[in-house]
Structure 1
Amino acid sequence: MLRKPPQTKRKPTNRPKRQPTKNPKQPNQAAKKHWFWGPSAQSSVPTQSQPALQCLTPIVVILPIHNEQASLPGTLKKVTQYIYRHPHVTFVFIDDGSVDRSCDILTQGIRNAKTPQLQMLTYKQRAGKGYAVRMGMRAAVMHCEYLCLLDGDLAYSLDHLDDLMIALQSADIAIGNRALGITTEPKRHWLRGKIRQFFTQLARKGLGLAYPDPQAGLKGFRQPAAQLLFDRQSLTGFSFDLELLYLAKKYGFSVAQIPAQVSQPHQLKVSQVKLVKDHLWMLKDLMRIYFNNWVGRYR
């Protein structure tokens, strides 16, 4: 059973603090994009609805979704059952411009749950998984002690939250590692597996990351680490995990790994990642990380 984390004193660090701007941008201000590095970390996408999060608990779990109408009813049922047993955990769904019935299903599910432990943020124009995660983390980071990230279709069960919180008692960041878990994923097309393996190795070596599974949708952050990292995150697509871990290494945050077990229903699900297009985009994102660091965007 997930228990409320004990209050622990952290030694003060000398990591730089982000200075507030004199004229902060409004949530509905259009994102400024560049042909190479894309939107800046401070830019925003016009939103359909971005209410303030209310009554947040010490632990907040962010779940980004896009066109998940098929899996959402089951996900909402599991999340609702979980929050009734864990009053110190809040779940926030981020709807990344879904064009199916995801938003309606979420709205009805939250209305039926009748608890502030289940909330959502949504916007009309799809902006990418990285943007959705950043939006949710920024909305919650000043009101909680721990922030967790789970894929919105619960590719990793809620039981993993226990392991994340245990790891975060001695580390700034905790990430899932599918190589440490016992998984029986079905055999995929050999080309998809080879391309994924190649780009993962390229990203690890290019960025100097020591983690064999940097992009598993299972991560946890202590509040100080989350505040600094998501204030500097700029990538809005599937490569945002790589940028976060690169920033974690740059600023000296400790990272723990926990076993990650892919859920049985997710093993049969068709991936939304496009085989060639998204992996070529990942290569471009790696160049963006190098460029952003070179021009001082990560200071």
Structure 2
Amino acid sequence: MPDSIVIVPTYNEKENIERLLDKVFSLEHDFHVLIIDDGSPDGTADIVKRIQKDYPERLFIEERAGKQGLGTAYIHGFHWAIAHHYDFVFEMDADFSHNPDDLIRLRQACVDNADMAVGSRYVTGVNVVNWPMSRVLMSYFASVYVRFITGINIQDATAGFVCYRRKVLETINLDKIQFVGYAFQIEMKFTAIMYGFNVVEVPIIFTDRTVGTSKMSTSIFREAFIGVLQMKINSWFRKYKRVEPKSEV
């Protein structure tokens, strides 16, 4: 049974999705891919289903009606991955901002000793390509803000390129995760650390998309700013008791 599933949320990614899948399936490790498509009007899901005929045992798709948010897409995918008993569960963007080659390195970090491996843009400086300086600064100082408020020692708290051991997702009450946008990534890292899991950062180079349209907006940043405060306050009234999962690698 293959051990790794890569969850890729999509909305209008027809320019990228076929190239991405071809690249992931060409890697030396046998990665499976789960696409969570939120009703892309550009036909992204149709492209995936066509490619699925070539990879019936490796490529899966879940279609949802309308844009429901990045966080809910990943939660949907996490439940699916747990139900199908994958040991390593990945988050990755569809637009090649995350290099598929780095899937190997993130997985290896979890094989070695990590419970959660984060593809980090900032752990060895600022490794971002094609972003305007204003966005680099906003992203970098968002992580500074998160560290200041929460106390967690993660240089890239908003990173969306992640590998989880299944036991992390089994332990976290996924249906209690509050945020659906930018803050979702922060909440998942914060919650994993509060449960005592070993979260490590693996340096990557992040390259902004060259085709398609970014989904980032000021409302997403606003959710993160207010959400971090709310999340930290809520943690004072919550017990993070780990129960050993049914199985682990």
TM-score of the aligned structures, taking structure 1 as reference length: 0.71
Q: Check 1:230–1:121 CA distance in 2 against 1; reply closer, same or farther (3 A cut).
A: farther
User: Does structure 1 residue 252 correspond to structure 2 residue 193?
Assistant: no
Residue 145 of structure 1, CA deviation:
1.4
Residue 160 of structure 1, CA deviation:
0.9
Match of residue 17, structure 2, among 50, 72, 80:
72
Structural mapping, 1:4-19, within 5 Å: none
Q: CA RMSD in A?
A: 2.6
Q: Which residue of structure 1 aligns with residue 57 of structure 2?
A: 116
C-alpha separation in 2, matches of 1:161 and 1:198: 26
Q: Which residue of structure 2 aligns with residue 128 of structure 1?
A: 69
Q: Check 1:287–1:187 CA distance in 2 against 1; reply closer, same or farther (3 A cut).
A: closer
C-alpha separation in 2, matches of 1:184 and 1:214: 15
Query: Among the aligned pairs, what percent are the same residue?
Result: 24
Q: Which amino acid aligns with 2:199?
A: V
Q: Which amino acid aligns with 2:179?
A: L
Q: Check 1:261–1:223 CA distance in 2 against 1; reply closer, same or farther (3 A cut).
A: same
Q: Check 1:96–1:193 CA distance in 2 against 1; reply closer, same or farther (3 A cut).
A: same
Residue 266 of structure 1, CA deviation:
2.8
Q: Which residue of structure 2 aligns with residue 13 of structure 1?
A: none
Q: Which residue of structure 2 aligns with residue 209 of structure 1?
A: 152
User: Does structure 1 residue 241 correspond to structure 2 residue 182?
Assistant: no
Match of residue 262, structure 1, among 182, 206, 223:
206
C-alpha separation in 1, matches of 2:240 and 2:64: 27
Residue 280 of structure 1, CA deviation:
1.3
Counterpart contact for 1:181–1:259, Cα < 8 Å: no
Counterpart contact for 1:150–1:156, Cα < 8 Å: yes
Residue 285 of structure 1, CA deviation:
2.1
3-state DSSP class of the match of 1:239? helix
Match of residue 221, structure 1, among 149, 164, 170:
164
Residue 230 of structure 1, CA deviation:
5.5
Mind listing any 5+ residue stretches in structure 1 that lack a counterpart? Answer: 1-55
Q: Which residue of structure 1 aligns with residue 44 of structure 2?
A: 102
Residue 183 of structure 1, CA deviation:
4.2
C-alpha separation in 1, matches of 2:158 and 2:131: 19
Counterpart contact for 2:9–2:70, Cα < 8 Å: yes
Residue 127 of structure 1, CA deviation:
1.0
Counterpart contact for 1:128–1:238, Cα < 8 Å: no
Q: Which has the larger radius of gyration?
A: 1
Residue 182 of structure 1, CA deviation:
8.4
Q: Which amino acid aligns with 1:205?
A: F
Residue 77 of structure 1, CA deviation:
2.2
Counterpart contact for 1:60–1:90, Cα < 8 Å: yes
C-alpha separation in 2, matches of 1:71 and 1:212: 28
Q: Which amino acid aligns with 1:245?
A: K
Q: Which residue of structure 1 aligns with residue 108 of structure 2?
A: 166
User: Does structure 1 residue 157 correspond to structure 2 residue 122?
Assistant: no
User: Does structure 1 residue 91 correspond to structure 2 residue 33?
Assistant: yes
TM-score of the aligned structures, taking structure 2 as reference length: 0.83
